[in-house]
Amino acid sequence: MKQSVLLIFLILGVIGNIFAASDTLQVLQTSDFKVNGKGSNAAWKKTPWVPLQNLSSEIAPYSSQFKILYSAKGIYVLMEGEDNKITTNYKKDFDDLYKGDVFEVFFHPNPKEPLYFEYEINALNKELVLLVPNFNKKFFGWIPWHYDGEKKVEKAVSITNEKGKMKKWSAEMFFPYTLFNPLENTPPQQNTYWRANFYRLDYDHEKMAKSAWMPVKGTFHEFEKFGYLKFN
């Protein structure tokens, strides 16, 4: 009897640890490389894909996933998702890209402050770069000043077709630490924790379909529900 009870507690403990760790992603180090939108650099092989969860149960979801690495100069993110067509009318940087198909990255380096970084990229390789103050659920994005040179995100997208039909699209990004100034807790050191989330919006079914790493109920700006990045 005692052994059975002990076994149950051990099983529950293991399950509890799995769920407790599920919101924390280990980010591995890498040397720097050029992005090409395809994620073909060998560095990506050492870190696994992380799936996005479907947040729109009434719509049949496309599968989506991402990877992340960091170097001495910045952070690399690779995102990809199944897709049958590109649904967006936004062909300029800093347009309202979220009103069309898009991948989104949110970094919250100092969770003590309601200030975080948001990045969006669509399949046309257009971007939206924002610093977001969020006080009492009142948030607004500010675009970076002198966004060029070493501050600029390196980005590329790739569209995969098979037999004349679109199968998926991917986006590969490099975020230089210089872009995060003056956010605290940057650049990350070994064993540094950030909060973060990764999202996808798709409009192929006329309604907006949402996917996320860490699920949110309302807007993507529920930073209290973000997951954790641990830089190894």
Domain extent listing, the chain:
24-231
Rounded to an integer, what distance in angstroms lies between the CA atom of residue 16 and that of residue 36?
39
pLDDT tops 80 at residue 66 = yes
- Can you tell me the mean pLDDT for 4-15? 36
Confidence of residue 61 (pLDDT cuts 50, 70, 90): confident
Count CA atoms within 13 Å of residue 99 on its CB side: 7
pLDDT score at 213 = 98
> Tokens 């509890």 map to which residue?
16
- Can you tell me the mean pLDDT for 22-46? 97
Q: Which sign, positive or negative, has the C-alpha torsion 158, 162, 164, 167?
A: negative
- Please list, in sequence order, all residues whose beta carbon lies within 8 angstroms of the beta carbon of residue 56, skipping any fewer than 6 positions away: 207, 208, 209, 210, 211
Cβ burial, residue 10 (10 Å; 0-12/13-18/19+): exposed
24-231: CATH topology is Immunoglobulin-like (2.60.40)
- Please list, in sequence order, all residues whose beta carbon lies within 8 angstroms of the beta carbon of residue 4, skipping any fewer than 6 positions away: none
Q: Structure tokens of 5? A: 């009870």
Mean pLDDT for the chain? 90
pLDDT score at 1 = 46
Q: Which percentage of the chain shows pLDDT scores above 70?
A: 91
Rounded to an integer, what distance in angstroms lies between the CA atom of residue 144 and that of residue 179?
8
Rounded to an integer, what distance in angstroms lies between the CA atom of residue 26 and that of residue 75?
13
pLDDT score at 83 = 96
Question: Pairing mode, if any, of strands 193-205 and 207-212?
Answer: antiparallel
pLDDT tops 50 at residue 201 = yes
